[in-house]
Chain A
Amino acid sequence: MDVKDIIKKENFVYGKSKVLTDNPMHYCPGCTHGVVHKVLAEVIEELDIQDKTIGVSPVGCAVLAYNYLDIDWHEAAHGRAPALASAINRLYPDKFVFTYQGDGDLASIGAAEIMHACNRGEKQLTIFINNAIYGMTGGQMAPTTLEGMKTATSPYGRNVALHGYPLQITELIAQLPGTCYVTRQSAHTPGAVRKLKQAMLKAVKNTLERKGTSFIEVVATCNSGWKQSPVDSNKWMVENMFPKYPLGDMKDI
């Protein structure tokens, strides 16, 4: 059998989702964003909801997310994505609306918007990428930066007496009666990616069924901001981030 006989569409076990565009991603090599984009695109394709999906992108590294998923998008002001999504899901109750936000966008400047959207039980999904740093602006301290962690604005390490504590905002959100599904996932191993996809499927279905607000935190790496190789970043994340931000479902109604 010739190799050309094997390379046939029916023999493919994996392919790029049609919902992903061909644009080269601007994310750093090793960044988690690309994997999460891929998982979301696959779920949108599998549920056949490309024509009813409206994404809201943040200010931060994912500001250009609209270049990579072939769906309609709104680019929000910093932190305001949950407010935008609230209006869209109310004006178009039959659409699927999600926000995609980083830790600075969601847990700092947008803390009010995310808490109130979740508290209203807005029929939308939030994907929250927590890599404990501001990536886009060059590695500054985020609300989720770990104690002692060095960043451009905490060069001697996060001092809780000076800077306050790392914010476990997902734990707070799980307390709100408006949320129906709150989970913390990661994407650093094939197994973790498969679990993330299952969580994504559940969250999107919840939203389509208008059960309440679904919220997926993805504990992520920022190897450029952390000044580590991608492999070392994954190791550092497991050893340092997971104890503070443990994986698993916090709420599943």
Chain B
Amino acid sequence: MADYMLMKGNEAIAEAAIRCGCDGYFGYPITPQSEILETLALRKPWEETGMVVLQAESEIASINMVYAGAGCGKKVMTSSSSPGISLKQEGITYIAGAELPCLIVNVVRGGPGLGTIQPAQSDYFQAVKGGGHGDYRLIVLAPASVQEMYDFVDLGFELAFKYRNPAMILSDGVIGQMMEKVKVGEYKKRLTDQEIVERYGSWATTGKTPNRQRNIITSLDLDANRQEQFNLKLQRKYREIEENETRFELINCDDADYILVAYGSSSRICQKAVDLCREKGIKVGLLRPITLFPFPTKAIQSFVGKVKGFLTVEMSAGQMVEDVRLAVNGQCRVEHFGHMGGVIPSPNEVVKALEDNFIKG
């Protein structure tokens, strides 16, 4: 029989980490995601599963702990919110450059700078275009419910290890703080050190035994030609991820004249907006990207010629809207509606924005 729990999105991340066999969490307090570290501290998984939990001295230290844990083949993660994620970019680009698997959770708050502690989606560019220096991508998952906060921990780790690439859960203060019913999974056993040697011994720093060369975790190569070849290899990996891992959800899109494109908490608001539009007789659908990288470009393209326009709804000045415009390449109208700085759009505002942009005048 399945177990159900009522919990916050942040608590779901912690619970999922323990149950999916995570080896280590390294974090630093910041609103609105501190419940992740707090829940882990309260749950004491080091007694239950042997999972390491450590409050680091800074976001920078915590991501570098993740870099090391990932390098020795362990299933490790961190979490933070926007200003803290900016600090983590140093470690994230090293992890991407060293091709290591790990999970990073960003419970986004409004910016720029210290901004606000209220929810926002203004870290989209940072998450999907790289974030730190150099040509790299993260696998970015966008949960729209507490259940998905829970489920995407396991999925994020699975994808991270499949491609040896850092994965990010791009959430926001709404999903992190709201409480919903969650179906929790069975406990997965953590890998033993011997199993890690067997699975990842070709690259992980588990101690150099006489039967193999030493393993070196680094992103450094001073030879320009080799560094370019490595970059080309990364790009091939990102194309493969785009080919295999794009995930999205379509709601009421079959007969739609207009499509809302929204992820995370904005998509929840848009679900209500779709219903309100349908009551008014406006045929509106919702395309919800679940992976933001890879982005559902082909799915959006498939509606060109069938719909009269796309409206993206984001809690930002309009970031994802650029990827929707790239997808349709000028062949369809794409407009943006959003709020910034921690203000959450209402379903009625979304309906009005759709009418103002596409129907009136």
Contact = CB atoms under 8 A, between A and B. Distances in A.
Interface of A: 50-54, 56, 63, 66, 70-77, 80, 83-88, 90-92, 95, 112-113, 116
A114 to B, nearest CB: 10
B91 A80 contact: yes
Given A87-B76, A91-B69, 17 more contacts: A54-B207, A56-B68, A73-B217, A75-B98, A75-B220, A77-B94, A83-B56, A84-B67, A84-B68, A86-B56, A87-B52, A90-B24, A92-B206, A112-B57, A112-B58, A116-B57, A116-B61
Contacts of B24: 87, 90-91
Given A72-B214, A75-B217, A91-B74, A80 B208 contact: no
A122 B64 CA distance: 15
Given A63-B220, A91-B72, A92-B193, A74 B57 contact: no
B65 interface: yes
Contacts of A56: 68
Nearest to A21: B214
Given A51-B209, A83-B61, A87-B24, A71 B214 contact: yes
Interface in B211-255: 214-220
Nearest to B58: A112
B54 interface: yes
Interface residues of B, number: 39
Contact of B66 (A54, A75, A87, A113): A87
Which of B26, B54, B64, B205 has the most chain A CB atoms closer than 10 A to its own CB?
B64
A180 B219 CA distance: 33
A76 B66 CA distance: 12
B60 interface: yes
Which of B57, B66, B209 has the most chain A CB atoms closer than 10 A to its own CB?
B57
20 contacts: A50-B208, A51-B209, A53-B207, A54-B207, A56-B68, A66-B216, A71-B214, A73-B205, A74-B67, A74-B218, A76-B64, A80-B60, A80-B64, A84-B64, A86-B65, A87-B54, A87-B65, A88-B69, A92-B206, A113-B61
Contacts of A116: 56-57, 61
Contact of A74 (B52, B68, B74, B91): B68
